Amino acid sequence: MGYLPSKNFITLVFAALVVLFVGWFVIYIASSNRQPAAGQKLGAGSGQLGFLAAYQDANRDSDGDGLKDWEEILWKTDANKADTDGDGTSDADEIKNGRDPILAGPNDKLKKPEEIGKQATTTPRTLTDKIAREFASNYLTAAGSSEGSIDMFQQKAISESLIESLSRDALLYKDSFSSANVRVEQSSSSDGIKIYLNRAGDFLNKTFANLQKPEIEIVNEILAAERYEDLKKLVAYVAAYQKTVEFLKQENVPASYASLHLELMNIMQNTAAADSFMMVTDKDPARGLAGLALYLKQVERLEQFYKSGGNIYFAKRTQ
């Protein structure tokens, strides 16, 4: 089954993409959930920033005040002005002293941690928007309660929260089918089993004949070149998986192959969902990463499926 990659290959790509996704995601959070102050910039393109460029931008401090540019957007300060409110104290120092960096003193006490990050009243439109708000709230609360200096423990907690949120959809995704969805044929002769395997094998080989390139390679190339319109290439893969699911649902299955048949149905269904998630990576990167995680899980399942005897579905055979 050449259209799914090896575990070693996909693990390497996944590790690289996580780094780039998170770097870009930080910029997405800043640019889509907080309006920059006058003159504030995050590099060319901002919302459409490339992944590698965004990762580099995540560590930029344009005005040298001790706050990174993306932190400035969360605090609503000016990334090009060290003292946004012009009261003689830098933005970072004001935060450390529990003062509001966008309100000149003396009555510029920073809001309580529990009040920070609760300004948004609109309903999040995407998974990315929802996670962005969670991240912003966690970060601002931690920074506000620790006088602006987030320690390693807090950084680790916020990072783990972000990664958990990004993968939550994949972790919670459940199989759609149970044994009740398999049309089991209790009495099957050896000829009947051979006919079943030939029909299934022929269908799979024909359906995926022109889809030999792993989806993850396609997605990786698209992200690297920023050709997001090419994500539509995954439409053919989703259609193939869904077509296979419909075929498997209608087949009469020898009892000895019922469990393998069910496992294949769920792998195909879940991989279709994973590809659908990855197709919206440019508009909803969190869902795209969730799709990537879900796809990884199906690759692992497929390997186990092979080891359990499922390789017979894809073996070259003669009538």
| Domain of residue 300, residue span | 175-313
- According to the model, what pLDDT value does residue 241 have? 97
Query: Which range is least confidently modeled, 97-101, 163-167, 259-263?
Result: 163-167
Same domain (yes/no): 157, 77: yes
Q: List, in order, residues 6 or more apart from 242 with CB less than 8 Å away.
A: 268, 269, 272
Query: Which range is least confidently modeled, 78-92, 185-199, 304-318?
Result: 304-318
Same domain (yes/no): 94, 199: no
User: Does the predicted model carry a pTM greater than 0.85?
Assistant: no
The CA distances from residue 246 to 181, 182, 242, 264, in Å, are: 11, 11, 6, 12
Please say if the pLDDT value at position 239 is more than 60.
yes
- Total structural domains within the chain: 2
Confidence grade of residue 12 (pLDDT, cut at 50, 70, 90):
very low
Same domain (yes/no): 104, 44: yes
Q: Which of 290, 297, 234, 238 is nearest to 263 (CA)?
A: 297
Q: List, in order, residues 6 or more apart from 27 with CB less than 8 Å away.
A: 42, 46, 49, 54, 57, 58, 70
User: How many residues are listed for the chain in this entry?
Assistant: 319
- What distance in Å separates the CA atoms of residue 174 and residue 172, rounded to the nearest whole number? 6
The strand pairing partners of 185, in sequence order, are 254
Greatest extent of the chain over all pairs of C-alpha atoms, in Å: 89
Using the 3D structure, point to which of 172, 205, 235 is the last residue of a domain.
172
Q: List, in order, residues 6 or more apart from 171 with CB less than 8 Å away.
A: 293
Same domain (yes/no): 37, 116: yes
Same domain (yes/no): 206, 258: yes
Confidence grade of residue 2 (pLDDT, cut at 50, 70, 90):
very low
- According to the model, what pLDDT value does residue 187 have? 78
Q: Is residue 6, in this structure, part of any structural domain at all?
A: no
Contact assessment for residue 167 and residue 293, using Cβ atoms and an 8 Å cutoff? yes
Using the 3D structure, point to which of 128, 145, 172 is the last residue of a domain.
172
Q: Is residue 187, in this structure, part of any structural domain at all?
A: yes
- According to the model, what pLDDT value does residue 216 have? 82
Q: Residue 121 burial (CB < 10 Å; 0-12/13-18/19+)?
A: exposed
What percentage of residues in the chain have a pLDDT greater than 90?
27
Q: Is residue 5, in this structure, part of any structural domain at all?
A: no
Tokens of 60: 């930029």
Q: List, in order, residues 6 or more apart from 7 with CB less than 8 Å away.
A: 299, 300, 303
Highest mean pLDDT among 163-167, 201-205, 282-286: 201-205
Q: Is residue 319, in this structure, part of any structural domain at all?
A: no
Q: List, in order, residues 6 or more apart from 233 with CB less than 8 Å away.
A: 218, 222
Q: Which helix (H) or strand (E) holds 72?
A: helix 69-75
The string of pLDDT tens digits covering residues 148-163 is: 667 777 766 766 676 6
Strands, E assignment, the chain: 183-185, 252-254
